[in-house]
Amino acid sequence: MSLRANIKVLSGSLDCALPATGITVIFGESGCGKTTLLRTLIGLEKAAGSIFLGSTTWQDAQRFITPSQRHIAVAFQEPRLLAHKTALENILLGQQNTTKACHYDAITKALDLDRLLHQKAQSLSGGEQHRVALARALSKDACAVFLDEPLTGLDQQRRKAAMGLIQQAAETKPVLLVTHQLDELLALAQYLILMGKNQTLCGEIDALINEPILTQQRGHEYSILTGPLQPNPASDLHAIDLGAGQTLRITPKIHAAGTDKIRVAIDARDVSLSLSRAEDSSIMNILAAKVVELQPAHEGAIKVTLNLGSQLLRALISSHSAQKLALKPGLALFAQIKATVQIR
């Protein structure tokens, strides 16, 4: 059941058809209208346009069904807990109404809430409150899940656990998530809604990864490499066939069962260039490449576009190094890839 919306938003209009499963990340600077968009989709805010989930009409010119009829789960930007109730009571709030039994224990365990389940919400710390609110949303039986900055105030370990849970939820239904963190975006997003000052873009992550809205924020670009996974039973290093005889070795984090193709994002800053293949280096991924284009980036840095045969790779190096290596279009060299992020 995919979510389709065609509605007015702050910066104009949004017309998108989100994937039926998987995570859609809504990204944009503070105050650009992310929460407002989420609230409109939920039905807490009215905006002209239409919204459908699968064959169900949430909103169109004639009809408007209330949030409670949309059968959704939401984690608001603030925790919105009932202060006088315990964490568990907050998590279970309203769950007796749904037909399915609530399986909250795996979720509370993963979010490290077990110790706190019987503590009153008002005595929880800020991060604990956010985790309870997230647990409430994730344990609710719902057709779609909306999470507004669900990982704020969490430390790295809890963040990872929460990301795992969100990915699990996204296996069976669409999940929309607002975040300001690029690492979260890369780790989770399959589909993006990018909200800028004058426009709102949406589409697969591959298509939008180097949109100015994103690159302005992080200051550099990403490349996305894709290819079938070739498992190596002898090691946890598996290979991705990038075509043109090149392979990329990664330790896959997500065992994308069923999908043979895997996608990897590479930060342009994590690519270094070398004229010869360094055989005695600890860098594992060294790929033959040809310079396609050189572009000045911010002060003292040069963006280099490389051709790996059948795919493109971007590198960001100092202009000092570019000079030293005498880079120019057509030059054959080797790209050393320091780090990769597997994306969906």
Partner 1 sequence: MPLPAASVQAILLTLELAFISTLLLLILATPLAWWLQKSHAWYARVTEIIVALPLVLPPTVIGFYLLIAFSPNHWLGAQWLAITGQTLAFSFTGLVLGSMIYSLPFVVQPLQSAFAQLDKGLLEMAQVQQLNLAQQFRHIIFPLCKRGFIGAAVLGFAHTMGEFGVVLMIGGNLPNETQVASIAIFDAVESLNYSAAHQLSLVMLAIAVAALLTLYWRKGAAR
Binding site for partner 1 (CB under 8 A): 42, 44, 66-68, 71-74, 76, 78, 80, 82, 84-85, 93-95, 97-98, 136, 140
CA 22 to each of CA 38, 43, 173, 203: distance values in angstroms, whole numbers, following the listed order? 17, 21, 7, 13
Nearest approach in angstroms of CB 35 to Mg ion is 3
Q: At what angle do helices 156-169 and 126-139 cross, to 10 degrees?
A: 10
CB of 128 to partner 1, least distance (A): 16
Which does residue 343 touch among Mg ion, ligand ATP, its own copies, none (CB within 5 to 8 A, set by kind)?
Answer: none
Q: How far apart are CA 281 and CA 265, in angstroms?
A: 22
Q: Is 19 in the site for ligand ATP (CB under 6 A)?
A: no
The nearer residue to partner 1, 98 or 295, going by C-beta atoms, is 98
Q: Work out whether 120 is an interface residue with its own copies (CB under 8 A).
A: no
- Which C-beta is closer to its own copies: that of 149 or that of 221? 149
Q: Which is nearer to partner 1, 30 or 96 (CB)?
A: 96
Q: Which helix (H) or strand (E) holds 108?
A: helix 105-110
Q: Is 152 in the site for ligand ATP (CB under 6 A)?
A: no
Instruction: Say how many Å lie between the first and final Cα of the chain, rounded.
Output: 19
Strand order, beta sheet including 3-9: 12-17, 3-9, 49-53, 56-59
Main-chain phi, psi angles of 39, to 5 degrees: -65, -35
114 lines the binding site for its own copies (CB under 8 A): no
Contacts of 239 (CB under 8 A, 6+ apart): 229, 230, 232, 247, 248, 249, 250
CA 85 to CA 54: how far, in whole Å?
36
Query: In the range 29-58, which residues lie near ligand ATP by CB under 6 A?
Result: 30-36
Residues 150-169 that bind its own copies (CB under 8 A): 152-158
Binding Mg ion (rule: CB under 5 A), the pick from 11, 13, 35, 247 is 35
Q: Which residues contact 79 (CB under 8 A, 6 or more apart)?
A: 121, 129, 130, 132, 133
> Taking contact as CB under 5 A, which single stretch among the options 41-49, 74-82, 235-243, 258-266 is the one that binds Mg ion?
74-82
From 33-41, 43-51, 293-301, 309-317, give the range in contact with Mg ion by CB under 5 A.
Answer: 33-41
Q: Is 36 helix (H, G, I), strand (E, B) or coil?
A: helix
Residue placing its CB nearer to partner 1 in the complex, 131 or 136: 136
Report residue 51: phi and psi, to 5°. Answer: -135, 130
Tell me how far, at minimum, the Cβ of 87 lies from its own copies, in Å. Answer: 12
Of residues 207-266, those binding its own copies (CB under 8 A): 216-219, 235-237, 251
Q: What is the DSSP letter of 86?
A: B
CA separation for the pair 67, 88 (Å, rounded): 23
Residues near its own copies (CB under 8 A): 28-31, 34-36, 77-78, 116, 124-128, 131, 148-149, 152-158, 180, 182, 216-219, 235-237, 251, 269-270, 272-276, 278, 280-284, 299-300, 315, 317-318, 320-322, 324-325, 336, 338-339
Residues near ligand ATP (CB under 6 A): 10, 28, 30-36, 77, 119, 123-128, 153
